[in-house]
Amino acid sequence: MGPKFPLALYYLFRGLSLFFLPYVTTVPGLFAFAALFGLNFISTVPATTTLTARIYGRYSVGELSGWIFASHQLGGAIGAVASGWLFDRTGNYTMAFHAAGVWALLAMAMVLAIRDEPIARSKRPGSVPASSALGHSS
């Protein structure tokens, strides 16, 4: 099956759960939401890393994962500020949770648009074999 469709399902579940969060009114309901959302939240990491490695190669996955997760944290920071702004304007977080749900559904759509195949790489013009660059003879 590969990592693409499970990742899309994780984002679908995340988006739908965020739409329902404002309507959780009991402490046990909140605990259940927190457990399910927490498990879903971390489930995207292996699928994202695997998909990145499949497309860009395993030697690039470390650097690319760093960029992916740094941008994720930047988005989280912006989301926190925007949610506070929405709370100040409306007196609740309903719009913020609904917006987060929309972003998750957008992420699902973007994942489904990914071409899950390696990027073809050609040798760069003028590239020198590693043995030649080190002064070793073949």
pTM to 2 decimal places:
0.79
Find out whether 114 and 4 touch, Cβ atoms under 8 Å. Answer: yes
77-110 burial by CB neighbour count: b if 16+ within 10 A, else e? eeeeeebeebeeeeeebeebbbbbbebbbebbee
Counting as low any pLDDT under 50, the low residues of the chain are: 138
Q: Smallest Cα–Cα separation from 41: which of 82, 2, 7, 77?
A: 7
Estimate to the nearest angstrom the gap between the alpha carbon of 90 and the chain centroid.
Answer: 29
pLDDT of residue 53: 92
Report how far residue 120's alpha carbon sits from residue 73's, in angstroms, rounded to the nearest whole number: 30
pLDDT of residue 31: 95
- Percent composition of the chain: helix, strand, coil (DSSP 3-state, to 5): 75, 0, 25
Report how far residue 102's alpha carbon sits from residue 46's, in angstroms, rounded to the nearest whole number: 23
- The model's pLDDT over 87-107, given as tens digits with 9 standing for 90+, comes to 999 999 999 999 999 999 999
Q: Smallest Cα–Cα separation from 1: which of 44, 34, 37, 47?
A: 47
Report how far residue 72's alpha carbon sits from residue 103's, in angstroms, rounded to the nearest whole number: 12
